[in-house]
């Protein structure tokens, strides 16, 4: 997996966190940079940790399924991307609601909820022999930046972009899954 594909994965995985960050920013009466940094740190940290956990799990089982690992990677990415696409089309606000306070317990739960898809991507990274350290650093930094920007944009513009971000992220993940499958089948 090349840098551009990895960057697209990182941006796509960040879309849930970006959407929740928009929500958090929306309800800040006044932009609080410190709160934006804490929110971004939670989301970026969990988006980096979850693929690492998935990668370790995938490495444990990789030797048994190398003959069909590309199908697993395709299925995981298509499922996660499809789920994001459906959630974006549903046009419903993110779970957890929006409020003005910074509740660390709520952030912890939201960070886990928005990074579950990164766990599945980490499993597919193990099958695809992706170097995990640069990958999780890129995913974590990308999510941190987009989450921080999400709080700022949410504070300025509100819910306007939440569903569009979710839809775009889902489409990109599904296309990457199709690309992986086609490469392994020799179509590309």
* pLDDT score of 96 more than 50: no
- Asked if 43 and 144 touch (Cβ cutoff 8 Å), the reply is yes
Q: Is the pTM of this model over 0.75?
A: no
Q: Return the DSSP state at 160.
A: G
pLDDT digits (tens, 9 = 90+) for 30-48: 888 999 999 999 999 999 9
The structural domain count of the chain equals 1
pLDDT tens digits, one per residue of 128-179: 889 999 999 999 999 999 999 999 988 887 556 667 766 776 787 687 778 7
Rounded distance between C-alpha atoms, residue 113 and residue 65, angstroms: 28
In angstroms, rounded to a whole number, what is the distance separating the alpha carbons of residues 42 and 109?
10
Structure token digits, residue 60: 């444990």
Domain around 137:
3-92+101-185
Cβ distance 19 to 150 under 8 Å?
Answer: yes
């Amino acid at each position: 997996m090349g840098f551009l594909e990895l960057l697209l994965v990182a941006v796509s995985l960040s879309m849930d966190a970006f959407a929740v960050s928009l929500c958090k920013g929306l309800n800040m009466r006044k932009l609080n940079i410190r709160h934006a940094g804490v929110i971004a740190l939670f989301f970026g940290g969990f988006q980096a940790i979850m693929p690492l956990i998935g990668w370790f799990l995938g490495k444990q089982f990789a030797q048994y399924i190398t003959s069909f690992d590309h199908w697993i990677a395709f299925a995981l990415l298509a499922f996660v991307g499809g789920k994001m696409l459906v959630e974006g089309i549903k046009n419903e606000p993110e779970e957890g609601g929006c409020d003005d306070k910074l509740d660390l317990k709520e952030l912890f739960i939201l960070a886990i909820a928005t990074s579950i898809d990164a766990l599945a991507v980490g499993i597919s990274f193990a099958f695809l022999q992706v170097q995990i350290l640069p990958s999780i650093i890129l995913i974590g930094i990308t999510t941190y930046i987009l989450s921080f920007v999400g709080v700022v944009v949410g504070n300025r513009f509100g819910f306007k972009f939440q569903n569009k971000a979710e839809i775009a992220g889902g489409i990109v993940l599904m296309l990457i899954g199709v690309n992986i499958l086609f490469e392994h089948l020799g179509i590309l």
